[in-house]
């Protein structure tokens, strides 16, 4: 911790899975062996600071890196959390990506509002949402860079913000 005693800055370091693939480069002789071993291994590495501010708090994400992440969830489960999901969407939603890295910050100016800014780079993102005959979605192997710098307000569905740009 740093900062003063009444308002300390809390450092957060998180490692999950195989983080070696997310850290500094390995020697060329070891690269091929490591690539074979980690080709499909999940890894997450994050460093952040939680800082008090005059109006609330700030979460400064110094780095986040993810490799080989996949998630599948049944629409019926999501509908319990987000009732506004269209009834035509049924089945399992699958989402994943090969790599993601970024940094940014979230500043909470009150319990309901704040500012979010940051940069993300991602590769081989996919989304599959099979639905009925009138609604389905499929996005395959999208790579790009996203930037966000937007105020947000919490609502019944959680925080809402605007993505300022995305390129691929």
* Torsion angles phi and psi, residue 119, rounded to 5: -130, 140
The enclosing H or E element of 62 equals strand 57-74
Look at residue 11 and tell me whether its pLDDT is greater than 90.
yes
Which of residues 126 and 18 earns the better pLDDT score?
126
Domain range for 97: 2-167
Q: Of 38-42, 72-76, 116-120, 143-147, give the lowest mean pLDDT range.
A: 38-42
Which of residues 18 and 132 earns the better pLDDT score?
18
pLDDT score, position 6: 66
User: Can you give the pTM of this predicted structure?
Assistant: 0.69
Percent of the chain with pLDDT over 70: 75
Percent of the chain with pLDDT over 90: 30
- Looking up tokens 């993601």 gives 100
Domains identified in the chain, total number = 1
Residues 6+ apart with CB under 8 A from 128: 93, 94, 95, 137, 138, 139
Look at residue 60 and tell me whether its pLDDT is greater than 80.
yes
pLDDT score, position 126: 92
Q: What share of the chain is helix, strand, coil (3-state, %, to 5)?
A: 10, 60, 30
pLDDT score, position 68: 92
């Amino acid at each position: 911790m740093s900062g003063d005693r009444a308002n300390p800055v809390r450092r957060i370091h998180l490692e999950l899975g195989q983080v070696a693939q997310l850290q500094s480069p390995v020697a060329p002789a070891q690269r091929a062996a490591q690539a074979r071993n980690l080709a499909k291994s999940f890894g997450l590495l994050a460093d952040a600071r939680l800082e008090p501010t005059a109006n609330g708090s700030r979460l400064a994400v110094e780095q986040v890196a993810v490799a080989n992440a996949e998630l599948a969830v049944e629409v019926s489960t999501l509908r319990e959390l987000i009732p506004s999901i269209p009834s035509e969407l049924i089945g399992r939603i699958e989402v994943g990506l090969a790599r993601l890295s970024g940094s940014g910050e979230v500043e909470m100016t009150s319990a309901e509002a704040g500012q979010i800014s940051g940069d993300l780079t991602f590769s081989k993102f996919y989304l599959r949402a099979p639905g009925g005959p009138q609604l389905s979605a499929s996005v395959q192997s999208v790579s790009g860079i996203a930037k966000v710098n937007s105020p947000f307000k919490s609502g019944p569905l959680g925080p809402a913000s605007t993505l300022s740009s995305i390129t691929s």
